[in-house]
């Protein structure tokens, strides 16, 4: 027992009294509203009464309500828009909002695009393994149709995206799908201004053939419910992508436009 008393004293002197952190009323209101939204009480597109009425029903001041809504909006949990009759329309954010927030965080850390590629490969490997275990007949038909289109139309404008998102859907695991949907577009914001070096690699016919073959093999492994092989093939596919893009991606950072990158 004596040992337990070592270290900090059981009681503090008056000099060590810490202030009590009281939550502001708007924070308490925001916490309550957050719970109601997460419970599904208010859904996407729900229209709430005008602020004056809502505040009255909630038994709080309009000021605290507005502050609370601002906090929730800042957290990316809602988007408040004026409704038709002066009510408040709630829009629950989708994956695009997650992408924007994630891109902002990664940009702040100066994240390299090559690290983004590595992360994508690690996630996708797990995705492929789970898809092989959980894909339904509909998922398999969808994947086959995508690869068939890739084979017939030649190398298109949206390499890999459609196929990989469909594999993620075949996991029937929402958190995993959300992560894939949110991370996939990072870097795609280059749009028309995609760095020329990257674009050239993307359009190489040999790369196209290699990719379609990799997708074909993946569909085969997923159909055979061969999870380890699906993981292995996905790892190889990403390694091949990484090897060809790495020289063009080197030094590029998340969140920087092609124009900025061209000028260093
Ligand atoms: Zn691919």
Percent above pLDDT 70 for the chain? 83
| pTM for this predicted structure | 0.73
- CA-closest candidate to residue 180, choices 144, 115, 247, 126: 126
CA of 215 to the centre of ligand 1 (A): 6
- C-alpha of residue 154 to centroid of ligand 1, in Å: 14
Q: Are 72 and 33 in contact (CB under 8 A)?
A: yes
Is 206's pLDDT higher than 60? yes
The whole-angstrom separation of Cα 91 and Cα 44 is: 5
The pLDDT, as a whole number, for residue 264 is 38
Higher pLDDT, 95 or 120: 120
CA of 23 to the centre of ligand 1 (A): 49
Instruction: Report the Cα 66 to chain-centroid distance in Å.
Output: 28
pLDDT tops 90 at residue 126: yes
How far is ligand 1, taken at its centre, from the CA of residue 239, in Å? 11
Dihedral of CA atoms 250, 253, 258, 261 in degrees, nearest 10, equals -70
- pLDDT, position 221: 98
The strand order across the sheet containing 88-90 reads 47-48, 88-90, 80-82
pLDDT at position 6, please?
53
Average pLDDT over residues 202-209: 76
Per-residue confidence (pLDDT) for residue 257, from 0 to 100: 54
In the predicted structure, residue 263 carries a pLDDT above the cut 50:
no
């Amino acid at each position: 027992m004596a040992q337990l008393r070592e270290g900090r004293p059981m009681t503090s002197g008056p000099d060590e009294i810490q202030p009590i952190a009281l939550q502001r009323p708007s924070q308490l209101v925001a916490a309550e509203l957050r719970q109601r939204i997460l419970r599904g009480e208010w859904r996407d597109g729900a229209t709430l009464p005008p602020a004056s009425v809502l505040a009255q029903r909630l038994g709080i001041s309009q000021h605290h309500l507005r502050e609370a809504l601002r906090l929730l909006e800042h957290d990316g949990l809602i988007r408040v828009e004026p409704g038709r009759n002066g009510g408040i329309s709630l829009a629950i954010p989708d994956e695009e909002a997650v992408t924007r927030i994630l891109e902002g965080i990664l940009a702040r850390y100066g994240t390299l695009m090559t690290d983004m590629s590595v992360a994508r490969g690690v996630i996708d490997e797990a995705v492929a393994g789970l898809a092989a275990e959980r894909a339904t007949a509909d998922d398999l038909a969808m994947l086959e149709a995508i690869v068939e289109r890739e084979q017939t139309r030649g190398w298109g404008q949206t390499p890999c995206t459609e196929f990989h998102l469909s594999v993620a859907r075949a996991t029937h695991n929402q958190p995993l799908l959300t992560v894939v949907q949110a991370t996939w577009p990072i870097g795609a914001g280059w749009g028309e201004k995609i760095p020329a070096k990257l674009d050239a690699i993307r359009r190489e016919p040999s790369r196209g053939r290699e990719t379609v073959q990799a997708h074909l093999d993946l569909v085969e492994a997923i159909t055979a419910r061969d999870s380890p092989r699906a993981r292995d093939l996905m790892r190889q596919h990403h390694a091949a992508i990484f090897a060809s893009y790495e020289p063009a991606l080197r030094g590029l950072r998340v969140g920087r436009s092609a124009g900025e990158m061209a000028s260093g």
